Structure 1
Amino acid sequence: MPAYFITGTDTEIGKTTIASGLLHAARRAGLSTAAIKPVASGCELTPEGLRNGDALSLWGECSLPLRYEEVNPLAFEPAIAPHLAAREVGTPLTVQALVEPIQAIQARNADFMLVEGAGGWRVPLEGQANLSDVAKSVGMPVILVVGVRLGCINHAVLTAEAIAHDGLRLAGWVANIVDPQTSRLNDNLATLHERLPAPCLGTVPYLAEATPAGVADCLDLTLLGL
């Protein structure tokens, strides 16, 4: 069962957009899909409880019959760093608290599974732990979403180095054009191809309406061996 941990070069660079596109591409290829965003802040209170827009997007691309609470087990209302949101409501945000629901989804044996992190690679959890420790605990290869804008090369290379330092394999990366006015865009993309030690799964242009189907058109899952 191929399973990947999705991280990004920063927050608000389109991790969920790309993750939803990857799931859609997998479904299009006839694979069963499952996803989990183990912790999310910035949730809205609904009659069904707290709901996160990113988690809802992932949930919509899961072909397995999952409950929302399985896709997003830890949901917090304030749109702040997850460890701060968890602290405000007295919820211990430990590595194990996030690993257990991930393993529960793994046990469902989807053909293609994604775990979407929050923010970047070193998002804090309780104490001195980071979200990267969750990725290390489950041992999944990583897909890096690069938000292409000024400064993205430094962020991407540093993140790739941190992933390698943590003993995990960078399986691939996706260039997501978040700033279409990026100066020397093609040169920046070329440098990313030169510097990142993994295949580029696709370049997603700036889309006024980034639907999972539209994003999937820009991605190549065969580069993951699928």
Structure 2
Amino acid sequence: MTTLFTARGHIRLHRNDLPDGLDFGPMVAIDTETMGLDPRRDRLCLVQLSAGDGHAHCVQIVPPSLGGRGADCPNLKRLLTDPKVVKLFHFARFDVAILKAALDITCAPVKCTKVAAKLVRTFTDRHGLKDLCRELLGVDISKQQQTSDWGAAELSPEQLTYAASDVLHLHALWAKLEGLLIREGRLELAESCFAFLPARGALDLLGYVEPDIFHH
């Protein structure tokens, strides 16, 4: 295990799986890093998680061909499929698809801050995590490492810091967006959208991006 210490908490890197006994509470923020943006083709490399307490845990998924255990990560899978723990994402559609493709699990229940933002922030087209953190939380996060090589055997401190930043603020962001959903009377609609996201990811894995089966 590798540990980085930051001004507000720590970032811990685990190879292959989460350690035994970790408790992320009733809602865990999750993000993934991959070799590309096609969940049918590109390899899952890293899963980041945070309980919203300023700390982050990153699980490096290493395939057997490179000396790792691949999808053999029972603790991570148990958490991702636990019906009592809400999984909070930004752009859950991609993450649940890549987790299904790589680990053969259905990640549920889920919430998505991007979907929430699009439902209530219709006055803008800026729904990226960087924009939302800056505008709703007053926090600037760096995207400098976004396109780095996540399949490398050794991840740099800069990569881990970037990866952690994608989950450390999601709880606070969701609290803001949930308030807006309630204010605008769209929370129930949002929850229906969230419940559909695992199915949307499964459709993506089957190639139903184009044509979209919901299009005319």
TM-score, scaled to structure 1 = 0.27
Bigger relative CO (Cα 8 Å, ≥ 6 apart): 1
| TM-score (ref. length: structure 2) | 0.28
